Structure 1
């Protein structure tokens, strides 16, 4: 009997291996290379390892050793390919997780769903599709200021058809649109068809809610494009957004497109240095909001916002944004209730501002 296993050989023990072969398998190879043959009872996992590695073969009923370098090189190449494939799969796991998460959110099990709309074209296409199929209600909050006549004309047919279907349509605007002729015409035309409009002085977020099932909101998560958005269909989240909308609507002032009434004599608050728009900019700075986000929210370019900031630095006689924030926070302007502001004085005037 040639092959014997000592008590310390540890057959099949993974902790004592050399490049995939156990130490006992390596010793068995040496014995076969020397002309020895393992008995039947000894043909265990070590011999199977050598056969799998391609370094022994059975020829004419005898086990013979084969040249190891070609077999090892061949096995190494195969294992390197397998390793490369595993590394590729590991690298793809984050992407796979994102795709599976989106599928989960779309399912009845996940419940919630938010679809990212990366630019104005994608957002408008999705909004047109959902709004065009509205059955009950469209709630819209547009803080970006007046829209062009061309843009409003593109919405005329869609909104008129929705109103004829019995869809309730309510829109919130900033108070400044009351001085915009095109928006006045739009509100008067659509009010005659059953739409409702209100305006507010204080800031609010852009949002469109359709049938309390869909909501379109601005993106604050993943894009630098100020026109990117999210389409949200989670019922709980949309319900909360609708409740916030209703709270703003109750505080807003009804408007049917008529020009601002300038015959009312205002009460003057003396000593203010800033306009409502400038106070919004400064309050955003105090809250740590990025200037890009403020510009997008107020419907102006970053360059226009920068000019406003330069004017404000001159008004408060400071040289830096930090000084401007400090001076504004300590000034009476920071405590003004802009919901009551009706007319404004130019920055730097000491005659005060009119408050309704």
Structure 2
């Protein structure tokens, strides 16, 4: 019996139902007999390795067919029986077929990018249709705008940039701004804010700036016109939707956002740090030319004085010209020296 089984395996003998078919390679575990087929194969071996065809019941026909497909049985019509085939030979054959199939798949995988190169090139050259719908969202009403700013501030992890022209801020605005910058700073972000010089004379705004500075916010003052905007993580910008500031527009288009960020950075570079005090400055109540003279004596430049007092540089230049006549100074350096000397001797207000 063993010799017959070995002979059948070695020669691939058998005709009709017993011919060992080509078995398509499958994943590991695929070309294996099921439990019922295994039990039948073991029963055939227990009977000497042969199964008479006449003894195959209707319930066993599916298992016999599976064993024939796998090559574990071969039909011997002249003997009217099925003969068991050595599983070692079957396993070797199936393993070789799987290895050959794996090699073919690896070669195909390496060739695939080259086979699709013409389609890839056509895809890269195809102009994209950009859907810009929804990139600008308009909001109206203080409550809706406040909810939007709260959401954007809480989601900001890198940076919030703020440009606030037009003088002092209301207490409601400063309270909301203080809470929002706290969220960003807690997330590890950076906050920079740009103000109009006129805001320095407003006690609530000055108090807000002092408190925010302690949290790590950086402030600068710009004594020239600039645009109002709030920039979140350099990906979203909130701007007024009109000159009346009655609504806001949410901008997320990358090109527009990059343009607005560039505007802010340009204004930030032109602005100057300024001293903010919670109490009223000691120059309040003095004539403007006296305030200019005091700041000039402290070493501030014409531009810095303009930013400090909320005046134009041309107006400051006019006051300096009158001070030069008063002190008979030929140069700004000489004027500053004379004014410091006068302040030290008389302990009075320069220019009075």
The TM-score with structure 2 as length reference comes to 0.43
Higher helix share goes to which structure?
Answer: 2
